[in-house]
Amino acid sequence: MNRRLVTSLALVLFTGVGSVRADDWGTISGRFVFGGAKPTASDIKADKDVEVCGKHKLLNEELVVGADGGVANVVVFVRDKDIKIHPDLAATKNTPVTLDNKDCRFEPHVAVIQTGQPLVLKNSDTIGHNSNVATIKNSPSNSLIPAGGDSKVTFNAEEAIPAQVTCNIHPWMKAWLVVRPNPYAAVSKPDGSFEIKGLPAGEVELQLWHEKAGYIGEIKVGGKSEKTAKGRKKVTVKAGENAMGDITLDASLFKK
């Protein structure tokens, strides 16, 4: 066999193996904190299907701030188009994401999905719903989802702005769908914390979004204000943990 071919093959293999070494990948984490007096979420009074929806305590979920000031449902994703994907994450595309119509609200309120990954629009309620998915780059859809039923959708193109999902029968129901071309996206938990694992070491550009604030234009890290035009923030990922700590979002951002 051609010796040069073998050598180059070995080189390819070696680099291939090299690229999955643990020390080439990092995790970004942080916590979004509300800068201002903690707002209280207002109640929603169900005026349709009252005998079912009236039983549940429904809150306006546009801005959810936890007891400790954490801002839930802030979306963080990596903007870079051709980012290297950690081998362990490659298969995440095959696992369906579920957006459930449950207790007359959507669960979760903000869902992240990759292009090509199946979305299951499910209905765990005993009443009928519909899920109006207002994507822009992908064909929008609006299917009836009967009690106990489901409907599947996939998306081919990434969406520049998270898409709204609504139920036309119960107009208070609202959710958001973040369609990304890679697995590097997270939604902050009720305590405001988020984590994106398996990022290739090096510089990446994050993008921060919240349904009330839109793309977040200003953040405060370690007491220092920083402009993040269009919600974009470049960070350098080192191998291992990269804790960003508390990221304060001023109350005025949520007035848009």
Which residues would be at the binding site for another protein (CB under 8 A)? 48-51, 127-128, 130-132, 134, 136, 139-147, 149, 151, 160-161, 168-169, 171, 214, 217, 227, 230, 232, 252, 255-256
Q: How far is the CB of 252 from another protein (least distance, A)?
A: 5
What H or E segment, with its residue span, contains residue 18?
helix 3-18
Q: How far is the CB of 255 from another protein (least distance, A)?
A: 4
Secondary structure of residue 239 in the 3-state scheme: coil
Q: Pick between residue 151 and residue 188 the one whose CB is nearest to another protein.
A: 151
Q: How far is the CB of 232 from another protein (least distance, A)?
A: 8
Contact partners, residue 86, CB within 8 Å, separation at least 6: 20, 25, 197, 198, 199, 200
Q: Pick between residue 85 and residue 153 the one whose CB is nearest to another protein.
A: 153
Please report where in the chains the tokens 């051709």 appear, as a residue: 82
Are 132 and 153 a contacting pair, CB within 8 Å? no
**Bridge partners of residue 117, in order along the sequence:** none
Q: Pick between residue 141 and residue 193 the one whose CB is nearest to another protein.
A: 141
Q: How far is the CB of 18 from another protein (least distance, A)?
A: 29
Q: How far is the CB of 228 from another protein (least distance, A)?
A: 12
Rounded distance, CA 27 to CA 113, Å?
19
Cβ neighbours, 10 Å, residue 162: 23
| Secondary-structure breakdown of the chain: helix, strand, coil percentages, each rounded to the nearest 5 | 15, 45, 40
Beta strands 224-227; 129-134: pairing state: unpaired
Q: Residue type at 190? A: P
Q: Pick between residue 86 and residue 170 the one whose CB is nearest to another protein.
A: 170
Rounded distance, CA 76 to CA 141, Å?
25
Q: How far is the CB of 9 from another protein (least distance, A)?
A: 35
Q: Pick between residue 25 and residue 145 the one whose CB is nearest to another protein.
A: 145
Rounded distance, CA 109 to CA 101, Å?
10
